[in-house]
Chains A and B, each alone.
Chain A
Amino acid sequence: MEFIINYYNYIIVVIIMMLGLWGMLALSNLVKKLISMAIFQTGIILFYISMGAKKGASIPIIKQAYDEHHHPIHQTINNMDYANPLTQILMLTAIVVGVATLGLGLALTQRVYSEHKSLHEDEILESLS
């Protein structure tokens, strides 16, 4: 039980990823495959974000305070007040990659449909033979 409470974010991420992976391999409708792929990628994005998250932390932007003469006040920065920006930056790139892959995949699906008049994998295989 304690394990679940300590690691619930990772458990949720694993469930999401496995749903996506299962859908990519097992479903036979091409659009469903692609949406499963997006779910799989979202799982990975959540995995990265949750590893950089901290309890009670805010966005990693340091607010500079000024005194009455507009001189910057020196302030101590506590690491625990800010979420890790690295994982968020990485996932910004991964989101772009994911959108591009999904877009390309859907465009391909459209062409597959106009070629074979079906989105069902078995029917496409039949029309090939």
Chain B
Amino acid sequence: MIEQAPALIVVIPLISALFITIIGLYQPRVSWALTIVTFALSSIFAFICLKHVVTVGPISYMFGNWPAPFGIEYAIDHLNALIVLMISIVAFLVAIFSKHDIAKELGDKIPHFYSLFTLLVTGLLGITLTGDAFNLYVLLEISALTSYALLALSGGRAYIATFNYLIMGTIGACFYLLGVGYLLINTGSLNMADIAVIISNNTYSYTVLAAFLFIMIGMWTKMALFPLHSWLPNAYTYAPTSTSCLLAPLMTKVSVYVMLRMMTSVFNYDYIFNVLQWQSVIVTLAVIAILAGSVLALKQDNLKKMLTYLIVAEIGYMVGGAWLGNANGFTGASYHIIADGFMTLCLFLAIGCIIYKVGDASLSSMKGIFTKMPMTMLGFLIGAFSMIGIPPTCGFFSKWYLISGAYEAASWHFLIALLISSLVNAVLFFRIIEVGYFQALPSEEPNHHHPKIKRDEAPISMLIPLLTTAGLLIGIGLYTADIVTYLIQPFIKNFL
């Protein structure tokens, strides 16, 4: 059972998606419980894999026992063991959270939502685990197709927003496929480790350059790096709350992971940073992404939309960190995938609770929210502190590594962009605190001697995931040293 754990992480949600659809037709309520059990199991197996990777070493799992260059290999090393665990935990928490929200927003579509939800996470887990370049494309499309359906579920403006995402997402995936095609022409192989050996032996040709370019542009489209970001804010804003809670922390971060995986496991450090030498251009693009995301976030009145622009800025952090080309930058980028996954989740869950109770997420309806929903706002504050980068939370540590990386690489514009972005985040979140804490609801002005605002907290099944995530943010922050020493540094050692 234990040696099959890498396959089970993906196979369990895949099969359970089928059962959720069938059982959900007769018993819609069971699908919720089934989804939670599925991701609890996935998390357990992901944890087993992580433990094995740390104590013994990287796992190579051959599907059907076909040897590596011919069969499909699941290659688990220190980085993706950590990210798989993050994905399954996020899916588990969002599954718990979604119960009331889906019942309210989607009504009779409950089983459809959960089967799509499970399939989407199957795709994301597979992308993270696989060591086969074409297998990655198929799983990328599985997760993309299910995410289009999930985003469009709420109807109205979501349709056209999802349509734009579909066009951009397909362009991204097709570019990736084209890049894999070039690699196949050059090497005759689809296994990432095998391709890496073959292209490091021959001189780097234009075919390899084209492959690298197509794969990178494809992934930048998928992760919404700044000039290619236009699909993201609308698609995530008009989606059902639970969908954006699931997609915002996972989709873009998994694309960043694919970029890191391609840079480290297929192409190598010497090729990217010494032969091509694009790092200054890409870091500048990342700087523009950070600044543009922050400025656009300042303009928004809707909190959900504001957070989607913050995602665009955070993508700049990770791309910039990875392209600095030193150990600290790369550590920061890898660590920030985990940190940003959980802090985006925390903020979106908090906004989800607010939308569930208040009805919308505009800044003006935040008045008196701290008295009304104290527990929700506690979670929101911890998420916001992590986004700003206040010490015990994990957001501080990833920013610290990124800033040290920028200092080492002497790319001052990236360093300044990181600081400006932190300042903008501080302004954004303190604006919400100001409105929420100091401004009373208009109908309950204190001059009528009714200063009391009724406490009206979100249901317990929504609060538990939120506060767990908030706890995780602090927990990950406190164990930063261990995560970096045992998980991220062994991975980077092979690359640099």
Contacts and interface: CB of A to CB of B under 8 A. Distances in A.
B167 A112 contact: no
Interface in A77-112: 86-87, 90, 93-94, 97, 100-101, 104-105, 108-109, 111-112
19 contacts: A24-B170, A40-B170, A41-B174, A44-B178, A44-B181, A51-B185, A90-B134, A93-B134, A97-B145, A100-B145, A101-B141, A104-B145, A104-B149, A104-B166, A105-B163, A111-B155, A111-B159, A112-B159, A112-B160
B145 A116 contact: no
B116 to A, nearest CB: 11
A19 interface: no
Interface majority SS on B: helix, strand, loop or mixed? helix
B160 A40 contact: no
B156 interface: yes
Contacts of A21: 171
A39 to B, nearest CB: 11
Contacts of B152: 108, 111
Given A17-B178, A37-B170, 15 more contacts: A24-B170, A30-B163, A40-B174, A47-B181, A51-B181, A87-B184, A90-B134, A94-B137, A100-B145, A101-B166, A104-B166, A105-B166, A115-B157, A116-B160, A124-B160
A108 B148 contact: yes
Contacts, number: 69
Nearest to B70: A86
Interface of A: 17, 21, 24, 30, 33, 37, 40-41, 44, 47-48, 51, 86-87, 90, 93-94, 97, 100-101, 104-105, 108-109, 111-112, 115-116, 124, 128
Question: Which 3 pairs, one residue from A and one from B, show the smallest C-beta to C-beta distance?
Answer: A97-B141, A111-B159, A112-B159
Nearest to B166: A105
Contacts of B178: 17, 44, 47
Contacts of A33: 167
A43 to B, nearest CB: 9
B272 interface: no
B272 to A, nearest CB: 25
Contact of B163 (A41, A94, A109): A109
A51 B148 CA distance: 32
Contacts of B138: 93, 97
A112 B145 CA distance: 17
Interface string B134-158: 1001100100010011001001110
A128 B167 contact: no
A104 B148 contact: yes
Contacts of A112: 159-160, 163
Contacts of B137: 94
Interface of B: 134, 137-138, 141, 145, 148-149, 152, 155-157, 159-160, 162-163, 166-167, 170-171, 174, 177-178, 181, 184-185, 190
A128 B157 contact: yes
B167 A24 contact: yes
A111 B159 CA distance: 7
Nearest to A10: B185
A104 B58 CA distance: 38
Contacts of A41: 170, 174
A129 B158 CA distance: 15
A128 B161 CA distance: 11
Given A33-B167, A104-B149, A44 B159 contact: no
Contacts of A37: 167, 170
B239 to A, nearest CB: 13
- Most chain B beta-carbon contacts within 10 A, residue among A37, A100, A104, A128: A104
Contacts of A101: 141, 145, 166, 170
Contacts of B134: 90, 93
A113 to B, nearest CB: 9
Nearest to A17: B178
B231 to A, nearest CB: 12
Nearest to B185: A51
A108 B157 contact: no
B417 to A, nearest CB: 29
A51 to B, nearest CB: 5
A93 B139 CA distance: 11
A95 B167 CA distance: 17
Contacts of A17: 178
A90 B135 CA distance: 9
B159 A108 contact: yes
Contacts of A40: 170-171, 174
Contacts of A115: 155-157, 159-160
Nearest to B138: A93
Contacts of A93: 134, 138
A13 to B, nearest CB: 10
Contact of B171 (A24, A97, A109): A24
A118 to B, nearest CB: 10
A44 B133 CA distance: 16
